[in-house]
Amino acid sequence: MNICQRDIVEIAFYTGNKPEPHPALVISKEDIFEAEGFFYAILLSTKNVFPEYTFEIAPEMINKPRNDRKGYAVCHMVQQFYPEDVITRTGASLKSETFNR
């Protein structure tokens, strides 16, 4: 399974005591994945609990959005994952101009 920067995947993210399925945005480049076999991703959420650490994501910022709700990239929730950690691939990705911001 090839994991690419800007992909949105569903993954078991540790947000408390146990892992729970959440969408996540892949932030590491493909070079890291190819060399090391892992990738870094940040949590995507519908809640804006810590506004100073979030970036709002509207549906028009996503290729193939799954719904019409806005969400947030929770930038301080960064974790390392392996391909086997991916529950599902959404087929969606963050548009490059949004990712670069």
Q: How far apart are CA 55 and CA 93, in angstroms?
A: 15
pLDDT of residue 83 exceeding 80, the answer is: yes
The pLDDT of 53-60, averaged and rounded, is 94
Query: What is the rounded distance in angstroms from the CA atom of residue 60 to the CA atom of residue 41?
Result: 21
pTM of the entire structure? 0.90
pLDDT attached to residue 39: 96
Task: Name the amino acid, one letter, at 20.
Answer: E
The per-residue pLDDT for 1 is 67
Question: How many Å apart are CA 80 and CA 73, to the nearest integer?
Answer: 16
Predicted confidence (pLDDT) per residue in 67-82, tens digit: 888 999 999 999 999 9
Domain layout of the chain by residue ranges = 7-100
CATH, domain 7-100, list 1.10.10.10, 1.10.150.240, 3.30.70.20, 2.30.30.110:
2.30.30.110
Average pLDDT rounded to a whole number, residues 24-35: 93
What pLDDT score was predicted for residue 2? 82
